[in-house]
Structure 1
Amino acid sequence: MSDQDILKLFKNGQRDKAFAKLYQLYPRIEKLILSKGGNKADANDVFQEALIILNRNLESSNFKLTSSFYTYLYSVSRFVWSDIQKQMTKKELHQLDGHEVQVFQNVIEEKKYQIAEHAFLEIGKRCQQLLQLFYHKAMSFKEIAQVMQFNSSKIAKNQKYKCLQKAKDIYQTKLKSVES
């Protein structure tokens, strides 16, 4: 099955079939990770991460696959593994071509997304509910106050600010620990 056929499966909503075809590339990615000092469990984790990044990019309307799926997954896997090992030096970054820089940026963005998701899960159920009502359901502070049984819309607004600040603080702390 060609890359174009796999791409068509994704576009037609047949992700399971597309991923089944992509899993045929796993042995080659595993070989890469094993050659870089990883083990089979590392290879599996890296490959899963690469597939997640690919999936997110395919869902983006401005993403265009400019290489084969194998080349793309190989590049992403290499950067994910480098990120895990924290062995990428500034010299190596300067030697990357344009496509590799984009792949590396995608890996970094995925890490930031995961950190943000983790921060959201850590803020507590009540804060999660408040932020979902405000951002996802686009409810007014008056409506939020009624749903969450606050005395006024001003209290709802204040609570939203505190919850958002708590999430930002957690995010920044986690981001700093990953970068260091």
Structure 2
Amino acid sequence: MSKIQGLIARLKDGDKRTFEELYLKNKKSFLLFAKRYQIHQDELLDIYQDAVIALCENAQKGKLDSLNVDISTYLFSIGKFMIYKQLKHQNRSVPIEEITFLPDWEMEDEEDEKEQIQLLGIGFQKLGEQCQKVLRLFYYEEKKLDEIQNLLNYSSKDVLKAQKSRCLKQLKELIQQKKNG
């Protein structure tokens, strides 16, 4: 059993000591990372606590059984999503290049994450206008497929799903080309 899988197993078992270690180990770095979003410190602390709880709940539900990234990376992803949600709630925006919506990426460290975000922004700009609209509405504005179908006048939800899938595939290919080229 890998170190990550052992940690996940202990979280599944509700081991309080593992929970506390995870919480304390990542708290300072998460709060430093999150400062760039200009959210009050108390709110950031609430977000961090919610993210740790969500991570533990996901572990207990078996959602992390095949996790292939560091547990801290996963925790930061949850926290970042919660920050974006908070900013949206406050009617504040996040630049599209800041949004990472390809969950299968593995980010080893902050430098790798910055590179991935930069590649995502470059790839996104190379997409056609319709793909940008679909992905922005779905991932950034968190609209339901029914809403997007109406907003963009798609004939059916299935057509929209296929379009979204093609757009994501195209974006991944653009990012891969940029990585390799």
TM norm structure 1: 0.46
TM normalised by structure 2 equals: 0.46
| More relative contact order, 1 or 2 (CA 8 Å, 6+ apart) | 2
Q: Which has the higher helix share?
A: 1
